Chains A and B, each alone.
Chain A
Amino acid sequence: MILKSLDLVNFRNYHKLYWKPHYGINVITGPNAQGKTNLLEAIYLTGLGFSFRNRDRDVVRWGSDFTSLNATYQLQRSQGLNVDVALTVDVEGKKKVLINGAENKRNLLPGRFGIVLFKPDDLQIIKGPPSRRRDFIDQDLGFIDPVYHRLLQQYRRVVIQRNNLLRLGEVHQESFQVWNEQFYRYGAEVLARRFKLLKQFFPLVREMYRGIAGDGEELDMKYLSTTTLTGVKDNEQLLKDFVREGKTREKEELYKKQSVFGPHRDDIVFFLNQRDVRYYGSQGQIRSIVLALKTAQIRLFHREIKEYPVLLLDDVLMELDEQRQNYLMQLVSDKIQTFITTTTLTDKIIRLSDRVYFINKGMMKEEK
Chain B
Amino acid sequence: MQYAGAVSRLIGELARLPGIGSKTAQRLAFFLLNAPPEVAENLAAAIREARATVTRCSVCGNLTDIDPCAICSDQTRDRGVICLVQDPRDVAAVEKYRGFKGVYHVLHGALSPLAGVGPEQLNIKSLLARLEGGDVQEVILATNPDVEGDATALYLARLIKPLGVRVTRIAHGLPVGAHLEYADEITLGKAIEGRREIK
Which B residue's beta carbon lies closest to that of A167?
Answer: B113
- Residue from the list B113, B147, B158, B184 in contact with A164, Cβ < 8 A: B113
B118 touches A175 (CB 8 A): yes
Say if the beta carbon of A158 comes within 8 Å of chain B: yes
B151 partner residues in chain A, CB cutoff 8 A: 158, 161, 175, 178-179, 182
B146 partner residues in chain A, CB cutoff 8 A: 154, 157
- Residue from the list B147, B184, B185 in contact with A154, Cβ < 8 A: B147
B184 partner residues in chain A, CB cutoff 8 A: 107, 146, 150
Q: A161-B112, A161-B147 are in contact. Are A147 and B158 (CB under 8 A)?
A: no
B119 partner residues in chain A, CB cutoff 8 A: 172, 174-175
> Which among B113, B151, B154, B184 has the greatest number of chain A C-beta atoms within 10 A?
B113
Say if the beta carbon of B111 comes within 8 Å of chain A: yes
Say if the beta carbon of A181 comes within 8 Å of chain B: yes
Say if the beta carbon of A168 comes within 8 Å of chain B: yes
A165 touches B185 (CB 8 A): no
A165 partner residues in chain B, CB cutoff 8 A: 113
Say if the beta carbon of A162 comes within 8 Å of chain B: yes
Say if the beta carbon of A160 comes within 8 Å of chain B: yes
Q: Mark A169-200, 1 if CB is under 8 A from B, else 0.
A: 00010110111011000000000000000000
Q: How far is the CB of A161 from chain B (nearest CB, A)?
A: 5
A150 touches B113 (CB 8 A): no
Which B residue's beta carbon lies closest to that of A159?
Answer: B147
B114 touches A150 (CB 8 A): no
B185 touches A178 (CB 8 A): no
B186 touches A147 (CB 8 A): yes
Complex Cα–Cα for A146 and B159 (A): 35
Say if the beta carbon of B30 comes within 8 Å of chain A: no
B185 touches A182 (CB 8 A): no
Tell me the dominant secondary structure on chain B's binding face.
helix
A175 touches B111 (CB 8 A): yes
Say if the beta carbon of B164 comes within 8 Å of chain A: no
A181 touches B185 (CB 8 A): no
B158 partner residues in chain A, CB cutoff 8 A: 174, 177-178
A107 partner residues in chain B, CB cutoff 8 A: 184
Q: A174-B159, A175-B119 are in contact. Are A161 and B114 (CB under 8 A)?
A: yes
Q: A161-B114, A162-B113 are in contact. Are A147 and B185 (CB under 8 A)?
A: yes
Complex Cα–Cα for A311 and B125 (A): 59
Say if the beta carbon of B148 comes within 8 Å of chain A: yes
- Residue from the list B118, B120, B147 in contact with A182, Cβ < 8 A: B147
Complex Cα–Cα for A154 and B186 (A): 11
> Which among A151, A162, A179 has the greatest number of chain B C-beta atoms within 10 A?
A179
In B158-199, which residues have CB < 8 Å from any A CB? 158-159, 184-186, 189
In B66-87, which residues have CB < 8 Å from any A CB? none
B154 partner residues in chain A, CB cutoff 8 A: 178, 181-182
Q: How far is the CB of A111 from chain B (nearest CB, A)?
A: 17
Say if the beta carbon of B100 comes within 8 Å of chain A: no
Complex Cα–Cα for A68 and B155 (A): 49
B120 partner residues in chain A, CB cutoff 8 A: 172
In A106-158, which residues have CB < 8 Å from any B CB? 107, 146-147, 150-151, 154, 157-158
Q: A147-B186, A179-B113, A181-B154 are in contact. Are A161 and B148 (CB under 8 A)?
A: yes
Complex Cα–Cα for A301 and B185 (A): 18
Say if the beta carbon of B90 comes within 8 Å of chain A: no
Complex Cα–Cα for A158 and B147 (A): 7
Q: A174-B155, A178-B154 are in contact. Are A161 and B113 (CB under 8 A)?
A: yes
B189 partner residues in chain A, CB cutoff 8 A: 147
> Which among A172, A175, A177 has the greatest number of chain B C-beta atoms within 10 A?
A175
Complex Cα–Cα for A139 and B136 (A): 48
Complex Cα–Cα for A179 and B151 (A): 6
B148 partner residues in chain A, CB cutoff 8 A: 161
A164 touches B185 (CB 8 A): no
Say if the beta carbon of B65 comes within 8 Å of chain A: no
Complex Cα–Cα for A42 and B80 (A): 60
Q: How far is the CB of B110 from chain A (nearest CB, A)?
A: 10
Which A residue's beta carbon lies closest to that of B114?
Answer: A164
A160 partner residues in chain B, CB cutoff 8 A: 114
Which A residue's beta carbon lies closest to that of B112?
Answer: A161
Q: How far is the CB of B116 from chain A (nearest CB, A)?
A: 8
B152 partner residues in chain A, CB cutoff 8 A: 178
Q: Pull 19 A–B residue pairs with CB atoms less than 8 Å apart, ordered by A.
A: A107-B184, A146-B185, A150-B186, A151-B186, A154-B146, A157-B146, A157-B147, A161-B112, A161-B114, A161-B151, A172-B119, A175-B111, A178-B111, A178-B151, A178-B152, A178-B155, A179-B151, A181-B154, A182-B151
By a beta-carbon cutoff of 8 Å, the part of chain B in contact with chain A is 111-114, 118-120, 146-148, 150-152, 154-155, 158-159, 184-186, 189
CB-CB nearest 9 A-B residue pairs:
A164-B113, A165-B113, A178-B155, A157-B147, A147-B185, A178-B154, A164-B114, A150-B186, A178-B151
By a beta-carbon cutoff of 8 Å, the part of chain A in contact with chain B is 107, 146-147, 150-151, 154, 157-158, 160-162, 164-165, 168, 172, 174-175, 177-179, 181-182
